[in-house]
Amino acid sequence: MQKAKERKIIHIDMDAFYASVEQRDHPELRGIPVGVGRDVCRGVLTTASYEARRFGVHSAMPVVKAKKLCPELVLVSPDFDKYKAVSQQVHAIFHDYTDVVEPLSLDEAFLDVTENKPGIALAVDIAREIRQRIHDELHLTASAGVSYNKFLAKVASDFRKPNGLTVIHPDRAFDFISNLPITDFWGVGHKTAYTMHHMGIFIGQDLRRYSLLRLTQVFGKMGAVYHQFARGIDLRPVVATSIRKSVGCERTFMEDTNRAGRLLDELRLLVLELSGRLARKGFKGRTLTLKVKFHNFIQITRSITKAYDLCTEAELLPLAERLLEEVDYAEHPVRLLGLTVSNRHEEEENPARRWVELELPFKEEEGMEERKDGPSAP
């Protein structure tokens, strides 16, 4: 267990952010199920209001399925410029308390308030004040988690959504983790949970019984992370610097296809779009990743890394075609293709100046049912 000179970490998560902004700006949408997404073939929801979530509707759900679950669902086309502007207002509030702010997305961030501008002693008081200001100034609600590391702060913020505040004190963390469902652990997705359940791991206490060796044998590097999380350990700092790690684009087809000619045509269009984005953003990387989502929503990736920068169409296209050749789509029609360039060479040249986050599926938990109970805040 980490000891307590411990940092004071807050995780703020805006409640159903895009949908809440729309409900705020359009009173006729308040109190009814709202989904933010385009009402087109293959459309997918970016988020759903809590009224819609009661029907089982959630983010990343196909619009067609959402309408079946909730026939009364009102769809609103996303306005990302507006959401970015509101997000900047939220972050301006954060920076009144600390500049050690690590955004995860437009609607959530970590704050390290161990040293804070107003000199407030208790992190819970800062979290309470921030939530109140978001409500009073922006007419939105946010949930907050407070603890001594990022893992526990993130878990805590999910506990009493929406509009909740949960504190996990160091003295209570061990018992809290013991009873925490493994599906609530940060970084445990559906596949990992399935494997863990077959191992007899259902709550943190079960996970703690497994050795570091065994967990790394089964889960690779993430096994060491789970081993630490089970003991309340997470040494990752809150990183205030914002450095672009990748540039990518993707395309969802109107109809699934396994025709080689069609896929190559789509791939070339993606390369053209990606090279344009790279040029506009002045980004160069050495790793190209192809994402393929099949008709059954199973998703795979293939990557290739070169010793030189990738940014032009001439550099990207032959590599993208080579990656596609590695994919067996003959009997598995493709729904979506995506391309991403990452691994910018500046990161390799200055390893001491950067912090590499573990890649955890932060948003996967949005599809889980809202927790109705939990330990009271200390």
Residues 22, 51, 102, 108: which is the catalytic one? 108
May I ask the CATH class of domain 246-349? alpha beta
For residue 243, what pLDDT is reported?
A: 65
Q: Report the side by side order of strands in the sheet with 9-14.
A: 101-105, 108-112, 9-14, 142-147, 165-167
At residue 42, does pLDDT exceed 60?
Answer: yes
Residue 46 CB neighbours (<10 A):
18
* Interval 84-133: pLDDT, tens: 999 999 999 999 999 999 999 899 999 999 999 999 999 999 999 999 99
**C-alpha to C-alpha distance for 343 and 323, rounded to whole angstroms:** 17
- Which residue spans of the chain are classified as CATH 3.30.70.270? 1-172
Can you give the pLDDT at residue 241?
A: 65
Give the mean pLDDT of 189-214.
96
Residue, of 355 and 327, whose pLDDT is higher: 327
- The top-level CATH class assigned to 179-229 is mainly alpha
pLDDT of residue 56: 95
Burial of 155 (0-12, 13-18, 19+ CB in 10 A): buried
Cβ atoms of residues 112 and 8 within 8 Å? yes
- Structure confidence at residue 351 (pLDDT): 41
The pLDDT value recorded for residue 365 is: 31
* Residue 81 burial (C-beta neighbours within 10 Å; 0-12, 13-18, 19+): exposed
Known active-site residue 108: yes
* Averaged pLDDT score across all residues of the chain: 88
Domain 1-172 class in CATH: alpha beta
**Choice between 356 and 190, residue whose per-residue pLDDT is larger:** 190
User: Which pLDDT score, from 0 to 100, does residue 5 have?
Assistant: 56
Q: What is the pLDDT of residues 299-330, one digit of tens each?
A: 999 999 999 999 899 999 999 999 999 999 99
pLDDT at 318 (0 to 100): 94
Instruction: Count other Cβ atoms within 10 Å, centred on residue 69.
Output: 15
pLDDT band at 145 (very low <50, low <70, confident <90, very high): very high
Task: State the pLDDT at residue 359.
Answer: 35
What is residue 369's predicted lDDT score, i.e. its pLDDT? 31
Q: pLDDT tens for residues 155-179?
A: 999 988 899 999 999 999 999 999 9
Residues of the chain within CATH 3.30.1490.100 domain(s) are 246-349
- Per the listing, tokens 């040249």 go with 349
Q: pTM (2 decimals)? A: 0.71
Q: Where in the chain is the domain with CATH 1.10.150.20?
A: 179-229
pLDDT above 90 covers what percent of the chain? 74
Q: What is the pLDDT of residue 282?
A: 86
Q: Is the pLDDT of residue 363 over 70?
A: no
